[in-house]
Structure 1
């Protein structure tokens, strides 16, 4: 379902260092890598999963080391190419006031490799049809997350960041999520879907697993 025009991707964290203000270091010399396909960042609560995604998305800046996508700093890519990295924080209120349908339309203009047929399939797979015209803040936690997941899997970005995907999902949606991720892992590229979660998600043959201490 990904566009053949999307380049294959390589992600590398080298000697990464980061600490929140007045806090202990989250990362101190952290190194990891992933290539095209589906990769898992695995760790318990408080190990830095979301922080790592925010560093990769350019929301936070490393205090040492590098986070690179295809040899370029992720922060530079995110700042200069809106379609290079997909990241939508499921806990943020940035999308309040907009409907999933309007958000999808805006994303389609931003991402050159946006796949409309894939979006349609994911909307159906997650059972989102009746929720498309509603405002995001009117959606339940699970339904809002389904909208984020449908967009993530349709965007075609070289790097797609997904945080704790099963929170609030019903069982059929979890099964559909596992199916989509498994297909992405088996198919490989072209881009990287990087999922942060506390376990491996049954049935997903991850191309890489990055364990956080």
Structure 2
């Protein structure tokens, strides 16, 4: 933030990348909500509010600080949305325990033919685990497999958790054994599934 203030003394023209980086900094700090609001105001002032990257970072920022209503408002006003925008809002709802809105956004995203990414599937699968709806689990799993993401670490970890919570140990182990790579969460997930 101090370096950013210095750039203003030298009349450096702000870019979407710069503003996005500042918002992400305020997001990750966990204690810079006020500064994030200031950066949001700055984005409005310099005309970067509707830059898709700035907008997506703001969605994540407000979600991380439990201000999903504000994130939803920004999302609705965005003239352009991408997979990161959709997923950021979904994650905000997931983080706040609003599983119904996560699934609603996932369905709307599919209607608009926006391709899911690894983070989208991980978010939606985590939501399905919380909802304990086996039919929904299977639909999302089929979409993840069809899209080729079932072996990616974050998606596979979520799948192992979901399948383990359903008591489907054989299927959870199948996903685990076919992962491209494994991390600590992968091992903890399969151990929890066995427990």
The alignment's TM-score, normalised by the length of structure 2, stands at 0.33
Higher helix content, 1 or 2: 2
Which has more radius of gyration?
2
The alignment's TM-score, normalised by the length of structure 1, stands at 0.31
Higher strand content, 1 or 2: 1
